[in-house]
Amino acid sequence: MCKPTAATGAASSHTAPKRVAVIGGGVTGLAAAWHLHTQSKQGQGYNEVEVHVFEAADRLGGHAHTLRLNTENFSCRDLAEGEDTANKAKNNNEVDIDCGFMVYNPSNYPNMTEWFSALSVEPEPSDMSLSISLDGGNTVEWSSTSLSGLLANPAQLLDSKFYSFFKDMIHFHSHAGNLLLLPENDPKRQVTMGEYLRNEGYGEGLASYYLVPMMAALWSASVEDVMKFPAVSLVEFMCNHRMLQLFDRPLWNTPAGRSIQYVHKMATLLAKNAHTSTPILAMNKKPKGPSIVDSAGDNSFVYELFTTDNTSMGTFDHVVFACHPPVANDILSKCNIINSSETIDAKLLANLRKIQYGDNVVYIHSDPKLMPKRKSAWASWNCMGKSRYLTTHLRQVSGNDSAEKNEKAIKREAMEGAASGFGARLDNQDEEKEVMEDDNGGGVVTDDTQKLEGEHGRMRAVYVTYHINRLQNLTTSRDIFVSLNPHQRPDSELVYRRQIMSHPQFTRETLAGRKAIKEEFQGKNGLWFCGAWMGYGFHEDGCRSGFEVATAINGVPLPWAAQKKEKDDAAVMVLPPPDLAQFTHQQNNGFFRRLKHFLSYRIPVAICKAFVTSFLKGAITKGELRLRLNDGTTLSFGDKSEVGGDDQPVTARIFDDWFFVKVATEYDLGLARSYMAGQFVVEPLEKREKYHWSLCPAGSRDETNDVIGDPIGLTRLFLLFVGNRDLASIGARRSAKQHTYANALQNASGLAISKMGSFLNYLRFKITMDNSERGGSLKNIHAHYDISNDLFRTFLDKETLMYSSAIYDAVAAPPALTNGVPQPSAGLVFKGSLEEAQWRKLDTLLDRAQIQPGQSMLDIGFGWGGLSLHAARKYGCRVHGITLSVEQKALAETRVEKEGLGHLITFEVIDYRTFARKKENQGRFDRVISCEMIEAVGHEHLGEFFWAVEQVLKYDGVLVMEAITTPEARYETYLRTTDFINTIIFPGSLCPSLHALVDASYKWSTLTLEHIDNIGLHYAETLAEWRRRFNAKESVVRKLGFDDVFMRVWNYYLTYCEAGFRSQTENCLILVFSRPGNRALVPLTETRSVTQLKSLTKEEVNAWLEG
């Protein structure tokens, strides 16, 4: 090995060796260098390779770090390469240990085992027992060493959670492997560990007493990161390492003489081509000569690398980044491009930034207070934690403990699907700023202020202590421990060393970045990326990743893989990780389990599938609906004609056949809950230009992903349903009043099996959804509007925060001609931003109210204060707002204070009926405005609303109401049924018909309808823009703790509503009420308000758009 010297040499030519730079001298870089150096020989049909390894530290090895400890004076030093490594050193007080890489086995570390054999590194047996100790051993303390270790704390025998932990562990071991058998694009494969544990109904015992501490120990990760870890990756790791079985687990080894053995042999092999203390800080990229042909790929560039003092280390054909991705990103970001227009791809840099690493404080010490309380519970891996932080609920780590809510209480309070993040807030101003900034959904919020150790550090829930004597067969009588991020520091007199080590953190963003780098950038222009982060973060993953890059460069398989073949008879270059998913499933799939599956799953699915397919054949007569199943078959319904201007098929990918059971037994609610559970998604069309222009504007972002599928496709699915429903309603049975009539038992006509399910849903709705003044309304409002202010800020406009339809600058699309006959307009063409449209809507509401400067105004259901602020700011009005949402009031008051309008605006949490009964409010207000609040009132209470307004309104006052309304033809049926909106999204809500509103006004007040505007199509565009913004802010939504279920339920909600307004089967009306003879409304009868402008031609529309 040599100190920094320039690795001089020219770029490759036809005869010169191919020059490869490996940046990083850890296991990954050394593995790649070994193969390139020893297996690339001329004369055997291979290109000779000259490889150089550059390591920033003063030693090779990375986490293969051997220390020599003096147990008498507690000193420590790095073991020099080539130094005697026998544990029986001349000084009996000295002992050699590994503090990073410690264990491996032939089954799960096949490449490392073979590589060690090639290097003549011998193994010796190791012990891999596990212990868990919570709250100083007082809550639970057990180990896997023996029966006495399992029952180390006798008090836990009285803990029911301890028994449920064993029950759930057995169930988890036998069922978790099923996750790996799902199709690759199944949304259920995308769930995090926290979501998986919640969705599968596992108790807190399994998480607290086993999984979470063990996972935190395996990946040196915090509980927050552990619960965000993709479940499929964890289960895959446990399965392939045979951790999902109680017996036949692998035997583990540790390198005899410690890991310095293989590091020393690699240093000797590479000799002067191993450059330590040589950080690569910058690089130049320049094209090769035109006659140069690279046999290993299409690389047409060479790279000059620079270290400290801008010293050149030579020019290379290939650069292998075997360092951490943040280091690679830093180097590539500073790359100078010479004589070429091709820069470093910004997408590559963005994906490198997604690969997160976490620092960990490592203590090598002999202090037993960082071990389990009872020595019978000591094991090789000892997970020490605090039970109050170990929970499957992701948000438990925010705020102080006294403010934390019981998860069951949260589930009762939150709307269905929103419990995972209910009430969450962002922690600091930087994160709040991110909510308000535009982005493309990339990146992830990080917090650099976290401490690494102590009770309030990143690992405050659990830390791990390794008992090195067990792991590495130490003969010393003194116990040696390695602790990562301990809650308390070991006694300073018993500490050998404190150091920082980094480990990859496997979040969704990390996996997405890793996938993109593998598929799009690996080897492109001679740049290669490898490391333990390419796998599970362990030594075999780094070793295999380095070998994969090396074999790709020289085209030579590993010696121990040369004779193996893939299933398609292709050569195996590197031994792949074991795939034991099918084996584990077969091991756990006994007769009784198969019988249970047959009776409880396959039979119900077969019956319900027959009902649903029969129903769809009659229900979908126009357009085309395709159901693509797991067995490869596709069911098709409809005549493939155009529906609502859409002539493309809607394809739903069914991942779980239980979809048919949900739809058959719960009808439309079953469809919603099936989507929420990830049982199906709608697939995108092959080309974006095939979407209808109104659904997919030019230049809009593609929102499709594995979790939600294609949200535009969801809108298309609902439009297909609506189009066929309305066709079927012609000639339907009508009541004596000529309204279509049905009840909960009749609602699912054509799908007989769902009649009872629909009836039970309706019965539950009538019993539980209470909109009374006694508190039912408060509970219902709380369930939706108090989800999280920061959540709503991710998608509402940034200026007004209005949660209601905007009014865009819009004109009707010119009608098309069919055989010379004009057809109806295909819809509105919209222009302008959401912010501009919301300001326009606020001005419209105030104009319809004919509000005058200085008047008093009551804002019923003021939301986050947008309308109140605008009325006070623009007209100097005295505004009083009432609401039932505590969270909305808090943010609205903050906004008022920021604007300095506290002297004009006051807010109150009170029911509108209670407010109206107060004597001081009688005839108090000139104007009352209610913007999309009437939907929370309920049909039975519509009259009470108009009565309340009559009480507080001055004689010449005006009521302006923005209301979502249901067409009269469907209203009676709607009153007797439940749907996705009034059951899941807005509990207890109801969208009244215009007739119902006018009738209630007539019966309960002297108010009469004076003016009406329909902005329903504007609402469709508003909802589409909310959806686009929400999906673009996915990283922030997940930062708040919301899970896959919520991502799906919110997309379903926005697209469901969009389809209703876009099809004009739901309306959004601005209604003006007053007492007869109100002269204040005279301006609403001006010509501009009661006449229609002439339609624009196609040329005029295009000119308007361009303007």
For residue 635, count CB atoms less than 10 angstroms from its CB and return exposed for 0-12, middle for 13-18, buried for 19 or more: middle
Task: Tell me if residue 433 falls in helix, strand or coil.
Answer: helix
How far apart CA 942 and CA 931 sit, in angstroms, is 15
How far apart CA 21 and CA 55 sit, in angstroms, is 11
Percent of the chain exceeding pLDDT 90 equals: 53
DSSP annotation string for 74-125: TEEEEPPTTS---SS-SSTTEEEEESS---B-TTT-HHHHHHHHHTTPPEEE
Task: Tell me if residue 579 falls in helix, strand or coil.
Answer: coil
Residue 742 is which amino acid?
A: A
Nearest CA to 69 among 364, 347, 359?
364
The per-residue pLDDT for 339 is: 80
Q: Are 318 and 309 within 8 A, CB to CB?
A: no
Chain segment 688-698, per-residue pLDDT in tens: 889 988 898 88
- On the question of pLDDT at 456 being above 80, the answer is no
- On the question of pLDDT at 983 being above 50, the answer is yes
Contacts of 212 (CB under 8 A, 6+ apart): 223, 226, 227, 390, 461, 462
Contacts of 638 (CB under 8 A, 6+ apart): 620, 621, 622, 623, 624, 625, 720, 724
Nearest CA to 1072 among 1015, 1008, 1018, 1016?
1008
Tokens of 824: 């109806």
The per-residue pLDDT for 16 is: 64
Query: Beta strand 336-337 with 282-287: parallel, antiparallel or unpaired?
Result: parallel
Tokens of 227: 């619960």
The per-residue pLDDT for 8 is: 43
The per-residue pLDDT for 1066 is: 94
Task: Tell me if residue 876 falls in helix, strand or coil.
Answer: coil
Measure Cα distances from 454 to 85, 203, 484, 485, 486 in Å: 34, 28, 11, 7, 6
Q: Per residue in 339-364, is it b (16+ CB within 10 Å) or e — as a string? A: eeeeebeeebeebbbbbbbbebbbbb
Q: Are 833 and 809 within 8 A, CB to CB?
A: no
Give the number of other Cβ atoms within 10 Å of residue 159's Cβ: 15
Measure Cα distances from 555 to 41, 523, 526, 549, 550 in Å: 11, 13, 14, 10, 8
Please give the average per-residue pLDDT across 959-976, as a whole number: 92
Stretch among 225-239, 330-344, 415-429 having the lowest mean pLDDT? 415-429
Query: Which residue has 């602020």 as its token pair?
Result: 869
The arrangement of strands across the sheet holding 527-529 comes to: 274-275, 49-54, 18-23, 318-321, 527-529
Stretch among 399-403, 749-753, 978-982 having the lowest mean pLDDT? 399-403
Q: Are 626 and 634 within 8 A, CB to CB?
A: yes
The per-residue pLDDT for 355 is: 92
Q: Are 21 and 33 within 8 A, CB to CB?
A: no
Could you tell me how far CA 638 lies from the centroid of its own chain?
35
Please give the average per-residue pLDDT across 428-433, as a whole number: 52
872 vs 2, more confident: 872
Task: Tell me if residue 771 falls in helix, strand or coil.
Answer: coil
- For helices 581-588 and 231-240, angle between their N-to-C axes, nearest 10 degrees: 80
How far apart CA 766 and CA 532 sit, in angstroms, is 56
Could you tell me how far CA 970 lies from the centroid of its own chain?
38
Q: Are 922 and 953 within 8 A, CB to CB?
A: no
Give the chain's radius of gyration (CA, Å): 34
User: Within the chain, what is the greatest distance between any pair of CA atoms?
Assistant: 109
Give the number of other Cβ atoms within 10 Å of residue 841's Cβ: 26
Contacts of 579 (CB under 8 A, 6+ apart): 240
Nearest CA to 259 among 145, 126, 379, 363?
126
The per-residue pLDDT for 674 is: 94
Phi/psi for 631 (5° steps) reads -80, 5
Nearest CA to 549 among 510, 522, 575?
522
If you average pLDDT over every residue of the chain, what do you get?
Answer: 84
Chain segment 882-923, per-residue pLDDT in tens: 999 999 999 999 999 999 999 999 999 999 999 999 999 999
Query: Which residue has 């988890």 as its token pair?
Result: 172
H helix or E strand, kind and range, residue 140: strand 140-143
Chain segment 276-287, per-residue pLDDT in tens: 999 999 999 998
DSSP annotation string for 440-501: -S-S----TT--SSSTTSTTSSEEEEEEHHHHTT---SS--EEEES-SSPPPGGGEEEEEEE
DSSP annotation string for 585-624: HHHH--HHHHHHHIIIIIHHHHHHHHHHHHHHHHH--SS-
The per-residue pLDDT for 459 is: 74
For residue 585, count CB atoms less than 10 angstroms from its CB and return exposed for 0-12, middle for 13-18, buried for 19 or more: middle
- On the question of pLDDT at 10 being above 70, the answer is no
Please give the average per-residue pLDDT across 470-477, as a whole number: 91
Quick check: pTM over 0.95?
no
Residue 89 is which amino acid?
A: A
- On the question of pLDDT at 246 being above 70, the answer is no
The per-residue pLDDT for 233 is: 82
Give the number of other Cβ atoms within 10 Å of residue 1040's Cβ: 27
Query: Beta strand 301-306 with 336-337: parallel, antiparallel or unpaired?
Result: unpaired
Contacts of 1084 (CB under 8 A, 6+ apart): 848, 850, 1010, 1011, 1072
Query: Beta strand 817-818 with 650-654: parallel, antiparallel or unpaired?
Result: unpaired
Stretch among 9-18, 55-64, 248-257, 739-748 having the lowest mean pLDDT? 739-748
The per-residue pLDDT for 215 is: 84
Please give the average per-residue pLDDT across 584-613, as a whole number: 84
H helix or E strand, kind and range, residue 325: helix 325-333
Tokens of 901: 């309008």
Residues in the chain: 1107
- On the question of pLDDT at 648 being above 80, the answer is yes
Question: What are the residues facing 54 on neighbouring strands?
Answer: 23, 275
How far apart CA 539 and CA 278 sit, in angstroms, is 23
Tokens of 714: 């969801």
